[in-house]
Chain A
């Protein structure tokens, strides 16, 4: 498979870019932040996303979606990264759609996937519990009770958890923290008794929640895939999410870089454009190279996910690790090269810096994925 976009994929990128840059430039996010919008994204725009087939991108044809792959999801994420558009695309269309279509029973698929595709159902994946992403350390307890289970414990950093109509929750049904066996994924109604959702305002003005489970009852039908054997499904879904977030960071980095190079050409000091100074030229060139190499690594990972998800782990770790360090570099150089203007809220560059920090933590930061690669190679 060539590491370039096909004609169809280029068309998808163009239509996503057209819509997102038109309807959701950075000013869109700024407006939602300044008005302390309780939803945190535009439901109207989400409807348009559904009409254009984006929300059901990963939903199989027979459930009303487009049946496309991770490369296509990455293309949309990259465009989202360029304007930092807040939307349920990652939580619902990438993570939940993948979890349901890969692990759901026929009944679960038929119940939820068409609604994801038509934009009427919002879903969220509840994984993290501690300060750092450690899926194997999941402690939220699932105890058998009657025909089903009772869930107790806390979840944090649940992306779009405050608006979700459906939660997909990782819980420990057997074994102890650190074990691969004994994890189970549950489909949970956020309105269930004993469940409390607290929207958490985050540094990047995007949407997340903390959720407390206090003996929340779920029936046996709510199990996604197999009891105690949810880790394989979860890891696959997380890898898809990691590839998607890496794509968002490529878009974000590229946009910050483009804005920075423009500034280097416009801003004059000492009687000339600051872009004439070799000290800045070489840093700009290094950043460009870093972004291009990361872009290739991310596309490689997305293709690997579409080809054979069971063998994609290393490529995904490379992509997420690289994307994290590249985005961190891009936003730091972006602010520095914009000088004092880069420090002002009025300038958009700070929004990119804040979002990059959040994307780093999402589904494992660069350190996590670099360590995963080393462990995977046995050293």
Chain B
């Protein structure tokens, strides 16, 4: 305990000294997120300095082993780093699907060679990854995917199409589900494979969404040649890797609401709807919606903390991330419904500088995907019913 308190004090002092003031302000645009990758640029000098200091300390991913560029911290220490970063409002120095999705799967299923090849490039922000999971005819029924990988000597030749590939047009590499045995049952003929998006035959086409943005792409594979050694885990057992990765993806999505940062919802609402003489919002229904939301938000934060602690104590259920994903995404949608209601007509402007290019309505529309991506809310409830509650025939 004393050691942990010492670690906390040291962490606090280090962050105080090394986190630039600009990196302690709430993020206001997409450019404030640093994703890394071959073609990346820093949006500010402060962003560069903060990233490099954290990278050099191994704290872009504090809990990964040092040999892969992580910080080598145990669960309690990593929690302290998160808490101390949150206490000063420090931004994540690096955001990537390599950290939140591929990394955990590689650590569990990858060969030593694969780990050494890919993990250090993730922690150092050199390679940006995207996820090739969904297909036009394989959404909630992901395991029915049809992208084919056919053996050709030491390589596979990959043909097919993925969809909803987040930021595929910016990504350097893809982790991809492909069918390697079309004769097997649908869960049994899938492999999990890694390849360079610069490979011949890969093309991407951004999809325009209701937000006016294009965070997702259609991704096409036309005779893409990939070495067989790029399969992670066992050939035809890629579904195990895919599911394990999805647990991490769902945990990440459940935490997407920007909890506890920025101005409180009640104050944001007071700007537009005003307050009575006692300081209460001049819209009793809205006040009540916000308060109910904040109760649930605080409870979810406790549940997220508990989920990590349970995992560390070896007491967590592997499907619990589905429960958190369901609740976290539905809550984030509620947050943005409240923000839209609180903003009134000011939240309807789509292009003006005054509205930062319609940041609020675009973000509101973006949240509608939260309960679809990474498994719909309905799929999450089905998983909880089947795997946790053991209900029949689910």
Interface residues of chain A, those whose CB is within 8 Å of chain B, are: 2-4, 261, 264-265, 272-273, 275-276, 278, 281-282, 284-286, 288-289, 292-297, 299-300, 314-315, 317-319, 321-322, 369-371, 373-375, 377-379
Whether A282 lies near B378 (C-beta < 8 A) is yes
Residue of A nearest to B331 (CB): A293
Are A379 and B279 CB-contacts (below 8 A) given A4-B309, A276-B394?
A: yes
For the complex formed, measure the closest distance between the CB of B1 and the CB atoms of chain A, giving whole angstroms: 10
Bitwise, B243-273 to A at CB < 8 A (1) or not (0) is: 0000000000000000000001011011000
CB neighbours of A292 from chain B (8 A):
303, 320, 323
- Whether A261 and B391, one on each chain, are in contact in the complex, defined by CB atoms closer than 8 angstroms, is yes
Beyond A273-B392, A370-B291, A374-B291, whether A289 also contacts B384 by CB under 8 A is yes
Q: Which residues of B contact A278 (CB under 8 A)?
A: 382, 394
Number of A-B contacts (CB under 8 A): 138
* Beta-carbon nearest neighbor of B264 in chain A: A377
Contact B275 A281 (CB under 8 A): no
Taking CB atoms, residues of chain A closer than 8 Å to B76 are 2
Chain B residues near A288: list those with CB within 8 A.
323, 384, 388-389
Q: Which residues of A contact B385 (CB under 8 A)?
A: 281-282, 284-285
A282 contacts which of B264, B280, B382 (Cβ < 8 Å)?
A: B382
Q: Is B295 an interface residue (CB 8 A)?
A: yes
* A374 CB contacts on chain B under 8 angstroms: 266, 280, 287-288, 290-291, 294
Q: Within B375-394, which residues are at the interface with A (CB < 8 Å)?
A: 378, 380-382, 384-386, 388-394
Taking a contact as CB atoms closer than 8 A, the residue among A3, A317, A379 that contacts B302 in the complex is: A3
The answer to the question of B356 belonging to the interface, with a C-beta cut-off of 8 Å to chain A, is no
Report if B239 contacts A (CB, 8 A). Answer: no
Further pairs besides A285-B385, A321-B295, A375-B280: 15, Cβ < 8 Å = A265-B392, A276-B391, A281-B385, A281-B386, A284-B391, A288-B389, A292-B303, A293-B300, A293-B302, A296-B303, A318-B298, A374-B280, A374-B288, A374-B290, A379-B266
Within the assembled complex, what's the spacing in Å between the Cα atoms of A300 and B309? 12
Mark B residues whose CB is within 8 Å of A.
76, 264, 266-267, 269-270, 275, 279-281, 287-288, 290-292, 294-296, 298-300, 302-303, 305-306, 309-310, 312-313, 315, 320, 323, 326-327, 378, 380-382, 384-386, 388-394
Q: Is the pair B279, A322 in contact by a Cβ cutoff of 8 Å?
A: no
Q: B391, A272: Cβ atoms under 8 Å?
A: no
Q: How far, in whole Å, are A284 and B385 apart by their CA atoms in the complex?
A: 7
Are B303 and A293 closer than 8 Å at their CB atoms? yes
Is chain A's binding surface mostly helix, strand, loop or mixed?
Answer: helix
Instruction: Identify which of B264, B287, B315, B327 contacts A4 (C-beta below 8 A).
Output: B315
A297 cross-chain contacts in B, Cβ below 8 A: 298-299, 302-303
Question: Nearest Cβ distance between residue A313 and chain B, in whole angstroms?
Answer: 12
Min distance, Cβ B107 to any Cβ of chain A, angstroms: 23
Inter-subunit contact A3/B294 (CB<8 Å): no
Q: Which B residues are CB-close (under 8 A) to A296?
A: 299, 302-303, 305-306
> Do A322 and B296 have beta carbons less than 8 Å apart?
yes
Q: Known interface pairs A281-B382, A286-B381, A289-B323. Does A377 touch B391 (Cβ–Cβ under 8 Å)?
A: no
- Smallest CB–CB gap between A249 and chain B, Å? 13
Q: Which residues of B contact A261 (CB under 8 A)?
A: 389, 391
Distance in Å: Cβ of A374 to nearest Cβ of chain B: 4
The reply to whether B287 and A379 contact each other, CB–CB distance below 8 Å, is yes
Chain A's closest residue to B293 (CB) is A370
CA A284 – CA B392 in complex, angstroms?
Answer: 13
Pick the most buried of A3, A273, A317, A319: most chain B CB atoms within 10 A of its CB: A3
Q: Beyond A276-B393, A379-B290, is A285–B381 a contact (Cβ under 8 Å)? A: yes
A261-B292 Cα distance, complex, nearest whole Å: 28
Which of these, B280, B309, B391, contacts A379 with CB under 8 Å? B280
Residues of A within 8 A of B384 (CB): 285, 288-289
In angstroms, Cα B391 to Cα A278, docked, is 10
Chain A proximity of B108: nearest CB distance (Å) = 23
Question: With a CB–CB cut-off of 8 A, which chain B residues contact A317?
Answer: 295
Asked if B279 and A2 make an inter-chain contact with CB atoms under 8 angstroms apart, the answer reads: no
